[in-house]
Amino acid sequence: MYKPLPESLTIKQSGISGLGLFADQDIKQATNLGVTHIKLDDKIIRTPLGGFINHSNEPNCAKVELHGNGHEPIRKKWNLVTLKDIKKGEEMTLRYTFYNI
């Protein structure tokens, strides 16, 4: 069954902007939460996980770039990885690099 978000995350109203991505439980540092963006040719596509992460100049998460094997249409993808331990209820944030803020 497809799930757009890991069970450890939920979407709710953010104090930063609109809706945000929040921890539904404590999450350890260096946890890979899944794919946020995919690059197909020259287009960057956000996944549902990537669609609700708000920007911070002091983020608690980072996008980690992964490369395809060159034999598939997806050349690059980025996963969301925690930079520190995240407490239940804390908003997940990252430093935007694809979009202007």
The rounded average pLDDT for each run of 10 residues, N- to C-terminus, in the chain (101 residues) is: 85 95 97 90 87 93 79 76 97 79 46
Is 100 within the bounds of a domain?
A: no
Is 26 within the bounds of a domain?
A: yes
- Helix, strand, coil share of the chain (percent; to 5): 5, 45, 50
Number of residues in the chain: 101
Distance of CA 50 to the CA centre of its chain: 5
Is 60 within the bounds of a domain?
A: yes
* Per-residue model confidence (pLDDT) at position 32: 94
Which CATH number characterizes residue 27's domain? 2.170.270.10
* Per-residue model confidence (pLDDT) at position 69: 63
Q: Is 45 exposed, middle or buried (0-12, 13-18, 19+ CB in 10 A)?
A: exposed
* Per-residue model confidence (pLDDT) at position 68: 61
Is 67 within the bounds of a domain?
A: yes
Is 2 within the bounds of a domain?
A: no
* Per-residue model confidence (pLDDT) at position 26: 98
Is 24 within the bounds of a domain?
A: yes
For residue 79, the enclosing domain spans: 9-94
* Per-residue model confidence (pLDDT) at position 42: 80
* The Cα angle at residue 29 between residues 63 and 59, in degrees rounded to 5: 45
d(CA 83, CA 66): 17
* Per-residue model confidence (pLDDT) at position 40: 81
Is 55 within the bounds of a domain?
A: yes
Instruction: Name the domain count of the chain.
Output: 1
Is 3 within the bounds of a domain?
A: no
